[in-house]
Structure 1
Amino acid sequence: MADSPAFDPPVALASLSGEADAEWAQQGAEYAGAAFLGGIALDEQTRAAAQEMVDRDRTEFLPSDPIAFIDDQLAALSDLSLTPGFNVRTTSLEPLARAAAVCADHDAIIEINAHCRQDEMCAAGAGESLLRNEDRLCEQVRTAAESGAAVSVKVRTELDGVSLPALAPELDAAGADYLHVDAMDSEPVIADIAEETTATIIANNEVRDRESVAEYLSYGADAVSVGRPSDDPRVLSRVRDAAESWFADEPMEVDL
């Protein structure tokens, strides 16, 4: 757990595949201190998986040159005060290193997607399948960290056989600066992860209002992120105000 808010305000916009682009981040910038664009598939295997997902009516970014796309999208955010990030999926290290270098050039966070649970992406060896292969995930974190960019790992709870509190120190050692945790219906696990990591914890899932923000921050998260309602100013305004209040002199009270 960090000693101070991760960014100001301590609210992030969480990536939505095929939707979270620079225009989306610009629209939410008033309410957030960070925005994770993407996700985007970087290599042949994950791009093929993304195409299969598009073929069954999911939305994905599939530019001809994903590295150039990342560069262009981050450049479009250069005048904003928020911290940009890019969520990426890959099975290969070389395109990850290139993407991370672009993020470093833009003072952006590279976020490794160990979160996507779509069958096609998991079959390719990306997404949440990485949580079952600690060595490969840590190798991706080390590769990204070598670029000089800040590294986030997007993870999810409630995956059989996977202990995020046990994994957290390994990700720390590999170079992760942020753990972006989709808590699913296991919110208290945030407290268990916080005890095991020095990384900044961003808590995600059903962050909508004062109560949900207070719950996650009470468990030890350093920030929260908003997913599906990230294009709804009413939700974002409530979340921003609640998160800022938490780090003020008189934190909110919440029953856990």
Structure 2
Amino acid sequence: MTELAFTPRLALSSLSGESDAEWARAGSDYAGAAVLGGIALDSRSREAARKLVERERTEFLPDDPLAFIDRQLAALEDAPLTAGFNVRSATVDPIAEAAAVCRDREAFLEINAHCRQAELCAAGCGETLLQDGPRLCEYVEAATETGATVGVKVRAEVPGVDLPDLARALEDAGARYVHVDAMDSEGVIADVVGATGSDLFVIANNGVRDAETVREYRAHGADAVSVGRPSDDPDVLERVRAAVDREFDTDADSGSDSQTGVESTRPQP
């Protein structure tokens, strides 16, 4: 099983249609992990992705999504970072199939419960999954059963969704991490950390651009931070990497769980 405890504690967050192996390599001087994708797996999510392309959004739409995942991860076998793939599906079986590909490439799988485009939500994937916790947990369980390291990309400020409660349910279902887009509610990171066990790795996302944002998310208990849109901007990555090196002193305060392989760097109370 792939260890998620990457160093430095900076991840590159997926950007649909842009985050491929070449993108990950370009950021590998700064980041310890990269999430490729997102990619639509089943017929409903792929049709939604085609509709997004029609309105000039970028999307990965290869003929064979699983083969594409495999090729992209193979291209990163010698890269100095931990790789993962963000996937979308309106049905559970393709999630397990993608998880098996990630497992075989020693990569992690990230289930997309984050994208809020109307086309994806109408298809039953993306943010819609946040409002259907049992189905999302079913996805996690199916992926985890393959032996893959599994996480979920989630979003704060979704009506009717108690994110800390959902994170706890995802942890119980076998998720090894949650990747939280905090939106304008940075304190939700502390709420998620407080509601879950120390073995659930929490990656904080949204607005990570400089030392101030890294310090804030670290103070809320995040185990790592991620950079999204500016992930191809060396100036931003250099600033964030320097802040991560200062704020996430993994040698001084990390604790390792020999069973899960996940290290926690959360500040001690």
Report the TM-score, using the length of structure 2 for normalisation.
Answer: 0.90
- Higher mean C-alpha displacement, 67-76 vs 87-96: 87-96
Determine if contact 2:84/2:110 at 8 Å carries over to the other structure.
Answer: yes
Q: Which SS does the other structure have where 1:181 is aligned?
A: strand
* Aligned counterparts of 1:137 and 1:154: Cα–Cα separation in 2: 11
Verify: 1:118 aligned to 2:121, yes or no: no
* Aligned counterparts of 1:26 and 1:45: Cα–Cα separation in 2: 31
User: What amino acid maps onto 1:215 in structure 2?
Assistant: E
Verify: 1:36 aligned to 2:27, yes or no: no
* Aligned counterparts of 2:225 and 2:151: Cα–Cα separation in 1: 14
Verify: 1:194 aligned to 2:193, yes or no: yes
**Hey, what does 2:229 align to over in structure 1?**
228
Count the aligned residue pairs: 246
Root mean square deviation of aligned Cα = 1.1
Verify: 1:65 aligned to 2:70, yes or no: no
Q: Which SS does the other structure have where 2:61 is aligned?
A: coil
**Hey, what does 2:211 align to over in structure 1?**
210
Percent of pairs with identical residues: 63
Following TM superposition, by how much is the alpha carbon of 1:107 offset from its aligned partner in structure 2, in angstroms?
Answer: 1.0
Determine if contact 1:6/1:223 at 8 Å carries over to the other structure.
Answer: no
* Aligned counterparts of 2:23 and 2:145: Cα–Cα separation in 1: 29
* Aligned counterparts of 1:229 and 1:94: Cα–Cα separation in 2: 33
* Aligned counterparts of 1:242 and 1:149: Cα–Cα separation in 2: 31
Q: Which SS does the other structure have where 2:119 is aligned?
A: helix
Following TM superposition, by how much is the alpha carbon of 1:98 offset from its aligned partner in structure 2, in angstroms?
Answer: 1.1
Q: Where does structure 2 lack aligned partners over 5 or more consecutive residues? A: 254-269
* Aligned counterparts of 2:242 and 2:148: Cα–Cα separation in 1: 29
Q: Which SS does the other structure have where 2:136 is aligned?
A: helix
Verify: 1:240 aligned to 2:253, yes or no: no
- Which aligned pairs between 1:60-99 and structure 2 lie closer than 5 A? 60-99=59-98
Q: Where does structure 1 lack aligned partners over 5 or more consecutive residues? A: 251-256
Q: Which SS does the other structure have where 1:241 is aligned?
A: helix
Determine if contact 2:218/2:248 at 8 Å carries over to the other structure.
Answer: no
* Aligned counterparts of 1:15 and 1:197: Cα–Cα separation in 2: 24
Question: Structure 1 runs of 4+ off > 4 angstroms?
Answer: none
Q: Deviations over 1:16-55 (max 9, x none)?
A: 0000000000000010000000000000000000000001
Following TM superposition, by how much is the alpha carbon of 1:247 offset from its aligned partner in structure 2, in angstroms?
Answer: 2.4
